[in-house]
Amino acid sequence: MPIATVNPANGETLKTYEAMGAEEIERRLQLAEATFRTYRTTPFAERAQLLGRAADLLDGLQQDIGKVMTTEMGKPVKQARAEAAKCARAMRWYAEHGEALLADEEPADADVKDSGASRALVRYRPLGPVLAVMPWNFPLWQVVRFAAPALMAGNVGLLKHASNVPQTALFLEDLFHQAGYPEGVFQTLLIGSGAVEEILRDERVKAATLTGSEPAGRSVAATCGDMVKKTVLELGGSDPYVVMPSADIDRAAEIAVTARVQNNGQSCIAAKRFIVHADVYDAFAEKFVRGMQRLTVGDPLDEATDIGPLATEQGRADLEELVDDATRSGARVLCGGERPDGDGWYYRPTVLTDISREMRIHREEAFGPVATLYRVSDLDEAVLLANDSPFGLSSNVWTRDEAEVDRFVRDLEAGAVYVNGMTASHPAFPFGGVKRSGYGRELSGHGIREFCNITTVWHGA
């Protein structure tokens, strides 16, 4: 895949870039290793100041980088600006809380004494250069939610971004440079996927994080496993959105639309499978479909647009295949189910029902504005259906029955359960999944400690 900005609204190639050669990759790896030796010892106060300065710069560049993201991958420009603002807030959160999250831990006095020590502690130390393999769907946020905690912990970052968002990738390197970080603390590698394995096998790279597809995750995990290196993987999701009879149906249906089509439906944590109790199914379905039909599909640079194009032509083709397979097997289309006329990689907001387990869309992630709607008879059936997926990233449940809430929290196989609301990421809360959605956690204290050497320090009597 070429490293290029191709506008998904019209298919026009705007900029192309040459992939870095072996000599430039080697130079950057040397720089990362050398920079880490000194950056790792910088005081937390200095790291916080640098990260806060990056946040300030990003706030001032929201309009510019928002337009770049929209042009590169098609998200509505108002959502792109919101993404930039979210990144700045996360930077400030880690600048404020990073030192406390990595403070030395003191074991209980009785345990220290029992170990024969005069004193003991647990210290979090940075690992070194970390390679981040990142996707195009949230081209700024996915990187920042790795970079902010990793840099605050004293690590240095190497970014291999998706090949269709090179301008965003270069923007990030320049942002950290302009904020005053030493050269080599954060570097963008303009490389294709074929160059990743060799970099992962380099002894100077100490760990890796990947957000992306399951095949990509398997590949990175296999290589790092062979090299015995730490990895964090955030892969696909096919999140359930369960609606029970006690729910506020109007609100549940309204939020369901946003939960499905945020980022043009191209979000791992978007709700994709809508599982509705039979008692409220008809009411919910009517409101949900009506809400999907009201969405404005069009130019993502237009402030009035709700749904822009899918990021790639292949992505739209993959989505069409899932819908076609379902309809051939008996699924009914309640709205959408087709591409509009004209240029660009657009697809109409779609709701499918009468889904069976044999359909690919029941098992595979639909990465676009396509929802599947299921009817269930009780809570037990809702839990079974919600868990009938190879993925387990997040989940959404709508009920005002506390006993039902307890049951969902206990039994849903997911990294998060959002009650009476849609899944969202926030720096204070751990983010990640189970099953084929990956392992490890980003954000919160859990995320900043993922790429740390958790060190026991023991002093004899």
What positions carry a catalytic annotation? 234, 268
Q: CB count, 10 Å around CB of 419?
A: 15
Cα→Cα distances 109→100, 457, 458, Å: 21, 14, 13
Q: Please give the structure tokens belonging to residue 208.
A: 């890796």
- Residue 101 · residue 448 · CB < 8 Å: yes
Q: Which segments of 109-140 does DSSP mark as H helices, in order? A: 109-114
Calculate the CA 276 to chain-centre distance: 26
Q: How far apart are alpha carbons 290 and 299 in whole angstroms? A: 22
Residues 6+ apart with CB under 8 A from 451: 126, 127, 130, 149, 150, 153, 155, 206, 207, 209, 230, 232
Q: Which segments of 228-341 does DSSP mark as H helices, in order? A: 249-261, 278-293, 313-328
- Residue 425 · residue 431 · CB < 8 Å: yes
- Strand segments, DSSP code E, in 354-448 are 370-376, 391-392, 396-398, 418-419, 434-435, 438-439
Report the amino acid identity of residue 214.
E
Q: How far apart are alpha carbons 24 and 49 in whole angstroms? A: 30
Nearest to 370 by CA among 211, 238, 234, 214: 238
- Residue 20 · residue 191 · CB < 8 Å: yes
Q: CB count, 10 Å around CB of 461?
A: 7
How is residue 385 annotated by DSSP?
H
